Amino acid sequence: MRSRYTAADLGAFTRDEASRFVPSGDGDPQKDVVLAWELLYRLEPELYDRLASVERLHPGVVGWLPCDVDRIAEVGAGTGRLTMELAGRGRHVVAVEPALPLRRILRRKLAVAGHGDRVRVIHGFFDQLPLPDDFADLVVACSAFTPSAGHGGETGLAEMERVCRPGGCVAIIWPNHLGWLTARGYRHVSLPGPMSVEFGSHEEAVELAEIFYPKAAGEIRRQGWRTVPFEVLGINPPRDLAYKVLAQ
């Protein structure tokens, strides 16, 4: 990922995106992997969607979330890894996603699945959610929230709590800084059982591993794997969530 894009690709960002992701104006995706991921979403969204489609969440994560609620707000929805599941758990779902190419893919998926009327996809950022106070019973982010200002941080967490009604739940799925969240009153749930990434074929496993998990690519090629345990890839499986139920 670090070698996939250069500073010349920063023009893919809108003015609002650049102000958040490269505020100094001189970012280098070959040194900043988070910046490289943001460029991936805008320059090669279909490639990102292929990866997200095989990195499936632990089934217990979705089952843990509140169901049969009136309104759900998802922040950083991407191409719908979680959104497609949320469509059956709330009467109204709003999916907030800053990257236009990812919103296009998500809208297409929702239309094919027949969820176009139930899920509304809108543009927005963690630090400025285009939703009113006390809007949703569940506010959730999946594999998108981090403590950094451009991807959540103190302001983003406050925004998620602002749009959650009293007594509602704010949930961060697949968090990467649990200690940061627990220090802010969030509780942690980790679901048991082995987890693997299920690629469509061995060839796809090798292709995507060479891009996203280069340290594991050789082993995947030698073993002929199509289904690869997360520990082989060197990343935590998507089995964790941090949550807070807001006081009434």
Helix (H), strand (E), coil (C) string for the chain: CCCCCCHHHHHHCCHHHHHHHCCCCCCCCCCCHHHHHHHHHHHCHHHHHHHHHHCCCCHHHHHHCCCCEEEEEEECCCCCCCHHHHCCCEEEEEEECCCHHHHHHHHHHHHHHCCCCCEEEECCECCECCCCCCCEEEEEEECCCECCHHHEHHHHHHHHHHCEEEEEEEEEECCCCHHHHHCCCCEEEECCCCCEEECCCHHHHHHHHHHHCHHHHHHHHHHCCCEEEHHHHCCCCCCEEEEEECCC
Show the tokens assigned to 73.
């707000």
Can you say how many angstroms the Cα of residue 33 is from the centroid of all Cα atoms in its chain?
Answer: 16
Q: Give the pLDDT band (50/70/90) at residue 112.
A: very high
Show the tokens assigned to 76.
């950083």
Look at residue 239 and tell me whether its pLDDT is greater than 90.
Answer: yes
Show the tokens assigned to 66.
């509140």
**What pTM did the predictor assign?**
0.95
The residue among 187, 174, 102 whose CA lies nearest residue 143 is 174
Look at residue 126 and tell me whether its pLDDT is greater than 90.
Answer: yes
Average pLDDT, the chain: 96
Q: Give the pLDDT band (50/70/90) at residue 216.
A: very high
Q: Give the pLDDT band (50/70/90) at residue 173.
A: very high
Predicted confidence at residue 150, as pLDDT, reads 87
Predicted confidence at residue 2, as pLDDT, reads 82
- Averaged pLDDT, 14-37: 94
Show the tokens assigned to 24.
């100094």
